Amino acid sequence: MKVGVMASGRGSNFQAIIDAELRKETPDVEIIQLIVNKPEVYAIERAKKNNIPYEIIDSSKMNREEFDKEAIRIFEKKEIQIIVLAGFMRILSPFFINKYKNKILNIHPSLLPAFPGAHAHRDTLKYGAKISGCTAHIVDEGIDSGPIILQSTVEIDRDETEDSLSTKILVHEHKILPKALQLLCSGKIVLDGRKVTIKPD
Ligand code: GAR
């Protein structure tokens, strides 16, 4: 499957799916294109190092509809079939989501449906949760609300900080994101409403 990636920053999850592809752990995945919504993000360096074409669509210079249309234009040109949001910190329009219905995968640093949104670690600690983790899910029109493919948990220590929790969870994100991507690309995911079952090998 031809995979397009959208990222807004450091891109360590982008790197995780690149590495999994290089290690041949994701035989149905071919990463074809990166789109970032800001210039000078580190994800671009990762694309360059791995010879993956990238485009910058500066989201500060246009509205949501214009941004999404430009992203679709780029992905269509490359015949992208599956999209990964790898630390992509923007909401996509219903137009975009319906265009790629059940074909967009997101990684989120909490155990959804708890703590959706842009400040998952802060919200988790503020709430006093004792465990957290990450969720790989299909994107629907809501915020971090789509069908869950995989989750992984971590324990929260007494002296946990946003930084330490983020570092701890990231290790798990890098494991479940490539796995969920391979499941999606290999057609192993069966959706019944918002419930995901995984076809056995
Ligand atoms: C990751 O922790 C990802 O789960 C989170 O942003 C970080 C990006 O890191 N995404 C969200 O919070 C989406 N709501 P990365 O750029 O190193 O992959």
Q: 12, 90, 123, 152: which to mutate for ligand 1, most atoms within 8 A of CB?
A: 12
- For residue range 109-160, list pLDDT tens digits in order: 999 999 999 999 999 999 999 999 999 999 999 999 999 999 999 999 999 9
Q: Which domain holds residue 73?
A: 2-198
User: Please, which pLDDT band fits residue 201 given cuts at 50, 70 and 90?
Assistant: confident
Closest CA to 180 of 147, 140, 148, 136: 136
Catalytic: 172?
no
Q: 8 and 38 in contact (C-beta within 8 Å)? A: yes
From the CA of 42, give the closest atom in ligand 1: 16
From the CA of 89, give the closest atom in ligand 1: 13
pLDDT of 145 reads 97
Q: Is the predicted pLDDT of residue 78 greater than 90, yes or no?
A: yes
> How many other C-beta atoms lie within 10 A of the C-beta of residue 146?
23
Task: Tell me the CATH number at 174.
Answer: 3.40.50.170
**Overall number of domains in the chain:** 1
